[in-house]
Amino acid sequence: MSSLTVTLKDGSLHEMEPGSTWSQVAAGISRKLGKEALAARVDGAVDDLQSQAQQDRQVEFLTFADEDGRAVFRHTSSHILAQAVQRLFPGTKLAIGPAIADGFYYDLDSEHVFTNEDLAAIEAEMRRIVKEDHPLVRRDVSREEANEYFTLRSEPYKLELIQDLPADVQVSLYKQGEFIDLCRGPHLPSTGMVGAVKLLSIAGAYWRGSEQNKMLQRIYGTSFPKQNDLDEYLQRIEDAKRRDHRKLGQELDLFGIADEGPGFPFFYPKGMIIRNQLEEFWRQLHRQWGYQEIKTPMILSRELWERSGHWDHYEENMYFLKIDEEDYAIKPMNCPGGIICYKRRPHSYRELPIRYGELGLVHRHERSGVLHGLMRVRCFTQDDAHIFMMPEQITGEIIKVIKLIDFIYKTFGFSYRMELSTKPENAMGSDEIWEQATDALKQALEQNGNAYKINEGDGAFYGPKIDFHLQDTLGRNWQCGTIQLDFTMPECFDITYIGEDGEKHRPVMIHRTAFGSIERFLGILTEHYAGAFPAWLAPVQARVITVADRHIPVASEVAASLEQRDFRVEVDDRNERVGYKIRDGELEKIPYLLVVGDKEAEAGAVSVRKRGQGDLGRISVGDFAVQLASDIAQKA
């Protein structure tokens, strides 16, 4: 029989023997790929390596370096976790066990309450299962057969999942040794490919995320092909704990959450300095880029939120109240207020694009279980902007927004990746409008030379969007900035402009943020810098340290001289040893410590210690001021 042909990622053709699996195809391309391949992306869909290869397909082999490859690796790891738990704790019921960013989890229903001590035993059993090297074998069965199997196994959560499937669909099961799970896959060829595993924590999780359902036990873990990769990851976890913004926020007296207001952050004086610097940076930049700042009310009527679609599509995330027996809502988004600002008077095509910027405080109802410091709160300030433009201005405006956001992130030392999110299930507007908006975003990304990934079905209810995912110094990703293109809300609010022909036309809207939320961005920055903010952001830019009480007058003069230049300065004149005071300043992560003793007092100078560099020697107060001003101006 003649050979079969497939197209590889680079466009080249590869011949294979009839009946080959994708695993055999990978090995036929190179021995290294045969060892490292975890799954195959066939015509865009991820498939098991054990599946039979087919003629005239486009195939890409996924390794642990690929996001989808890691997902397959860790999804298999979650099955190994479930198998280990059922071996050690018979009678445990299985819910779901997906791969997540940097790891996996499995939700379990057990009479046994799992402890951290149990994790060590489960982890050891997982290593046994890996060593046993069980093949993962997929079997497609009818819904009736799957029901019968999981009924005999007394697995109520699996039966509920099967019940939600279409009646005529085939149900896929995966078997490894004695263990069988309901799963769409794909999976690794065998358990032996999971090189190193670590169970991390235990948490509670409601079945299907609903508080009306039973609370299950969720075991989190991670896995890697090699032990040294796992060790490096665990070291990053320890680094992340030391950088936790909640811990640093308290230690540096920046911000916190009180019991009296869960999810509602407090900013202390030093935290407000950083926040104000961020906002001033934002304002100055937006003035330069042609934005006008507005401020819209926090509470608006039900009629407005019905018109915008939020009442129907976002109600569960909103807070409500009555005023004069009428329904009102606290705004969860700033966009309807921005539209009202636009609509206050007629506009000509000559004015467009109109760019409104707003640092708007919004409130959203979040479950208590997901609240997390400044990262997940119930009120936050969005650095919003709403751009009103003609259709022919779309590409140019999106490119300008991308360039602005790029400038902001580079200022803070962030790299990032971009995702294009498409039409969700609860979308407003026609398919035609959504296709037009999505194509416009693609065109802008490609014209600007930006690489991006498609995120199917994750757009806002009123339009597709580009999301910016920042990467911090620990390699973690944070979704911050977003650009949303909206043809729908201009229709809902009947906003227009007078065109060159003298007729009314419908503008198009861009919704966008760069920080995303001031609160969250500040939390990310705190962890990114480990609390050691650059001089332009630091609450205290320099601290003057006295050697003895007789140096207090000189230290006060130094501080006053620097304060006149608008620097943020403190004096530490405590009756303590110099080394102790220097140590305190380093723990508080102050950029510059200026020591004043007899020699400095005589010379009209200061001995400068720079954070991260140590002693810079003795220089005049004027020269130090020039150096600090340069740091601030360059945002170094």
Catalytic residues: 335, 364, 382, 384, 386, 465, 511
> Rounded to an integer, what distance in angstroms lies between the CA atom of residue 275 and that of residue 263?
18
CB 458 within 8 Å of CB 421: yes
| Residue 414 tokens, joined | 């962030």
CA proximity to 240, closest of 537, 470, 472, 515: 472
CA proximity to 582, closest of 534, 615, 550: 615
CB 78 within 8 Å of CB 98: yes
Q: In Å, what is the CA distance from 619 to each residue of 554, 568, 633?
A: 15, 19, 20
Burial of 95 (C-beta count, 10 Å sphere; 0-12/13-18/19+) = buried
- Residues 6 or more apart from 291 whose CB is under 8 A from it? 355, 356, 357, 385
Dihedral over Cα of 301, 303, 305, 311: its sign: positive
Beta strands, E only, 211-271: 215-224, 255-257, 265-267
| Region for 512 from its dihedrals, namely left if φ exceeds 0, alpha if ψ lies in -120 to 50, beta otherwise | beta
- Residues 6 or more apart from 433 whose CB is under 8 A from it? 487, 488
> Rounded to an integer, what distance in angstroms lies between the CA atom of residue 295 and that of residue 121?
57
